[in-house]
């Protein structure tokens, strides 16, 4: 058995480079050459890992989707003792990617979201992550309040976080304002859970 490399690990390395470039200059800046340079590998290596550029982007989308959902799951595991309501709050805050620390992920996510509007393959990848997050939120909301349709509130909450994140990214809201709006929405949810 000759030279062997960890293809999956390399794929993740390249996906990180893709996301970094998208964060800084948008999706169209993720060219094969620039991605290779950013990941500090040769273009040939990138082409070995992914047959086409589209395949690379799809993998990068799944990669960042997994990062976000994994962080959400981790957040849950790390705080099992809190009340269900505050858990939902923390989780929504995490998903909204409002923290400056996660601004890069938010920008990348938004870029993929727009691309998915005209690319069914990317849309399918995004839906996988969204469905995961919705399941998570639905279960939590069902625990937190007595409502006949927890999924309804989960869907609304997810749309709100996405909208707020976008508005923060273009400077229409400050992170603090978005945080406040999100908190207020949740407060109203706990106070009046009725369908």
**Helical packing angle, 120-144 and 53-78, nearest 10°:** 10
Residues within the interface to DNA (CB under 7 A): 1-5, 7, 10, 30-34, 41-45, 47-49, 51-54
The residues near 180 (Cβ < 8 Å, ≥ 6 apart) are none
Nearest CB to a copy of itself, comparing residues 14 and 95:
95
| Partner whose footprint covers residue 132, from a copy of itself, DNA, none (CB < 5 to 8 Å by kind) | none
> Measured in whole angstroms, how far is the alpha carbon of residue 122 from the centre of its chain?
13
Q: Which of 176, 38, 26, 182 is nearest to 104 (CA)?
A: 26
At its nearest, how many Å lie between a copy of itself and the CB of residue 120? 8
At its nearest, how many Å lie between DNA and the CB of residue 86? 44
Nearest CB to DNA, comparing residues 20 and 76:
20
Nearest CB to DNA, comparing residues 33 and 152:
33
Q: Which of 167, 175, 179, 190 binds a copy of itself (CB under 8 A)?
A: 167
> Do 97 and 109 form a contact (C-beta atoms < 8 A)?
yes
- Is the alpha carbon torsion for 143, 149, 152, 153 positive or negative? negative
Distances (CA, A) of 158 to 80, 92, 164, 172: 22, 8, 10, 19
Name residues contacting a copy of itself, limited to 139-158 (CB under 8 A). 152, 155-156, 158
| Partner whose footprint covers residue 33, from DNA, a copy of itself, none (CB < 5 to 8 Å by kind) | DNA
Nearest CB to a copy of itself, comparing residues 140 and 186:
186
d(CA 99, CA 71): 13
> Do 53 and 72 form a contact (C-beta atoms < 8 A)?
no
Nearest CB to a copy of itself, comparing residues 12 and 65:
65
> Do 38 and 123 form a contact (C-beta atoms < 8 A)?
no
Name the one range near a copy of itself by CB under 8 A: 68-76, 79-87, 140-148, 162-170.
162-170
Residues that bind a copy of itself (CB under 8 A): 24-28, 107, 110-111, 113-119, 123, 126-127, 130-131, 152, 155-156, 158-164, 166-167, 169-173, 177-178, 181, 184-185, 188, 191-192, 195
């Amino acid at each position: 058995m000759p030279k062997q490399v960890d293809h999956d690990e390399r794929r993740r390395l390249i996906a990180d480079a893709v996301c970094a470039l998208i964060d800084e200059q948008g999706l169209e800046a993720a060219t094969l050459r620039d991605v290779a340079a950013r990941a500090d590998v040769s273009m040939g290596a990138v082409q070995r890992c992914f047959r086409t550029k589209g395949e690379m982007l799809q993998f990068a989308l799944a990669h960042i989707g997994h990062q976000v959902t994994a962080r959400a799951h981790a957040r849950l595991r790390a705080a099992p003792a809190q009340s269900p309501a505050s858990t939902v709050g923390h989780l929504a805050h995490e998903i909204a990617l409002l923290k400056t620390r996660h601004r890069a992920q938010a920008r990348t996510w938004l870029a993929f979201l727009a691309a998915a509007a005209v690319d069914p393959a990317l849309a399918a990848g995004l839906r996988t992550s969204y469905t995961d997050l919705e399941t998570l939120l639905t279960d939590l909301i069902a625990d937190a309040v007595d409502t006949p349709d927890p999924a309804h509130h989960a869907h609304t909450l997810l749309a709100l976080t996405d909208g707020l994140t976008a508005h923060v990214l273009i400077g229409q809201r400050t992170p603090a304002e978005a945080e406040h709006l999100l908190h207020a929405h949740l407060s109203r949810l706990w106070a009046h859970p009725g369908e």
